[in-house]
Amino acid sequence: MTLTVETPSISAAVAERLARAPHVFLAGHAEAPLSGESRPVLDPATGRAIGTAACGGAADIDRAVAAATRAFDPASPWRTMTPLERGKVLHRIGDAILARADEFAELEVLDAGKVRGAARGIDVDFAARAFHYFAGWPTKIVGSTVPSSHPGIHIRTEKDPVGVVGAITAWNFPLLLCGWKLAPALASGCTVVLKPSEETPHSALWLAELAVEAGLPPGVLNVVPGLGGVAGQALVDHPDVDKITFTGSTAVGKRIARRAADQVKRVTLELGGKSANIIFADADLEAAVAGSAGGIFWHSGQTCSAPSRLFVHRSVHDEVVARLRAIADGLRPGHGLDADTELGPLVNAAQRERVEGHVRLAGEQGATVHMGPEVPRDGYFHPATVISDASDDMTCAREEIFGPVLTVLPFDDTDEVLRRADDSEYGLAAGVWTRNVNTAHRATKALRAGTVYVNGWGLTDPAAPFGGFRQSGYGRDLGPDSLEGYLETKSVWTFYG
């Protein structure tokens, strides 16, 4: 039997957004792209077009950067706005997101293949919370007084916004990443040119309109959807862009870093991962298995911090594998707007082919592959998959798959598993499941990852920094640490003697 998926009815507000002509958002209003190019946006659950998005080019990026540069002028409304009022604007943006939370969730389902409940409770809610959190920061960005070794001289520091920020976001969290990137940049007083993924552009464009309605001066936030190799490259190379913040693959991040280095441009990179998750023998197995499965199968594994390498103590290995297979077998695939859906699609056909290739290779290399029930083929679904009898040198244990695919690896002792868990080019996240506080502390100290979870997985908070070690990137999104990426420190010397 071949399963099929139909798109449920959608709200009038979302239908209106999807029906709009392809556009970019510059200096406070929508415009047709100078490139004249566009591309269909597909519903990943059906493979059918739901709208058309602009493919902005270098000329569109030029216009957007020019608008952001004008908005950053010292005499502009944005630069002369008080920190208190800037915070109020950010808070109103968060309120505007929540006021349209159901519509934004629906849009994320249709653009990115999410499941509605997660889109509403995680993506939309977190984006709003990010703006609300960073709304409190403009009044708290302060300099300091420096004790001077010279008589008759007063030294102080000031924190200045870095300037025009080029933000490039990934397709897997279209609205959420807007919160991650835009909220701290705006709190710092920067202006922004945002290039969302050409796969999932609609929520960023809508958010830009709402931001202007909330009081953000025109030109402070500009949005140019487009291809990474065209619009993204033009943004990275533009001489008037002072900072690049990027979320995406490690391969693209490396290219951005090399190009930005030519202009000594500041860069924050949040890149790929192959996160290690460890279940010790004394763990609460019910919680550990549920948390591990949820981490990898949520959003069909299309998260950079997905716990795709699961190390399990040999004494409980077989039981854990059996439980994971049962969970994989029980997940119901379908359209994300269907209330019964538990497993959504991958973002496009190319991603599905990539995941299928990784799973096929794992079997060819000698691993045991267990896939869940049949999934629809008219969209871009892949069954929840558990790979066992694998070894650390297999491709499935080394490379980021970015799909609902979990590789389970047995271990025998703590020293061994901590060494193996850290044997990766990545270092974005890691997890530990144990009832032993000593084991937990030892593991969190040893694991080289930007985020380490103990007896849980996957939560984020606007106040907690997020980023990686090694080839998972550098710099941090979220929390006070992220603000440093959008600020310059100026020393001011006053001679009064």
> Which of 198, 199, 270, 400 is an active site residue?
270
Q: Is the same domain home to 388 and 311?
A: yes
With bands split at pLDDT 50, 70 and 90, how would you rate the model's confidence at 399? very high
Q: Is the same domain home to 266 and 281?
A: no
Average pLDDT estimate for 15-21 = 94
Q: Is the same domain home to 248 and 287?
A: no
The number of distinct structural domains making up the chain is: 2
Per-residue confidence (pLDDT) for residue 1, from 0 to 100: 42
**Does residue 236 sit within a domain?**
yes
**Does residue 467 sit within a domain?**
no
Tens digit of each residue's pLDDT (9 = 90 or more) over 334-377: 999 999 999 999 999 999 999 999 999 999 999 999 999 999 98
User: What is the helix, strand, coil percentage profile of the chain, to 5?
Assistant: 40, 20, 40
Q: Is the same domain home to 237 and 351?
A: no
b/e map of 291-302 (b: 16 or more CB within 10 Å)?
A: bbbebbbbbbbb
Per-residue confidence (pLDDT) for residue 377, from 0 to 100: 83
Tens digit of each residue's pLDDT (9 = 90 or more) over 190-224: 999 999 999 999 999 999 999 999 999 999 999 99
Alpha-carbon gap, residue 421 to 275, rounded angstroms? 8
With bands split at pLDDT 50, 70 and 90, how would you rate the model's confidence at 425? very high
% of residues, the chain, pLDDT over 70: 99
With bands split at pLDDT 50, 70 and 90, how would you rate the model's confidence at 7? confident
**Maximum distance among all Cα pairs of the chain, rounded to whole angstroms:** 88
Q: What is the CATH number of the domain that holds 73?
A: 3.40.605.10
Q: Is the same domain home to 156 and 240?
A: yes
Q: Is the same domain home to 73 and 193?
A: yes
> Which of 55, 178, 190, 304 is an active site residue?
304
Alpha-carbon gap, residue 469 to 478, rounded angstroms? 16
**Does residue 497 sit within a domain?**
no
Tens digit of each residue's pLDDT (9 = 90 or more) over 169-178: 999 999 999 9
Q: Is the pTM of this model over 0.85?
A: yes
Q: Is the same domain home to 312 and 229?
A: no
**Does residue 2 sit within a domain?**
no
Tens digit of each residue's pLDDT (9 = 90 or more) over 380-389: 999 999 999 9
Q: Is the same domain home to 318 and 407?
A: yes
Q: Would strands 473-474 and 266-270 be described as parallel, antiparallel, or unpaired? A: antiparallel
Q: What is the CATH number of the domain that holds 387?
A: 3.40.309.10
Q: Would strands 385-388 and 368-371 be described as parallel, antiparallel, or unpaired? A: antiparallel
Alpha-carbon gap, residue 348 to 251, rounded angstroms? 19
304 assigned to active site: yes
Among 166, 372, 389, 140, which residue's Cα sits nearest to residue 269? Answer: 166
Alpha-carbon gap, residue 169 to 245, rounded angstroms? 8
Q: Is the same domain home to 86 and 46?
A: yes
Q: Is the same domain home to 41 and 139?
A: yes
Average pLDDT estimate for 103-114 = 96
Residues of the domain holding 205: 12-271+472-492
Give the dihedral sign, CA 17/18/23/26: positive
**Does residue 92 sit within a domain?**
yes
Is 32:22 a contact under the CB 8 Å cutoff? Answer: yes
**Does residue 3 sit within a domain?**
no
484 assigned to active site: no
**Does residue 6 sit within a domain?**
no
Q: Is the same domain home to 88 and 172?
A: yes
Among 385, 428, 383, 379, which residue's Cα sits nearest to residue 406? Answer: 385
**Does residue 75 sit within a domain?**
yes
194 SS3 class:
strand
Q: Is the same domain home to 50 and 193?
A: yes
Alpha-carbon gap, residue 286 to 362, rounded angstroms? 27
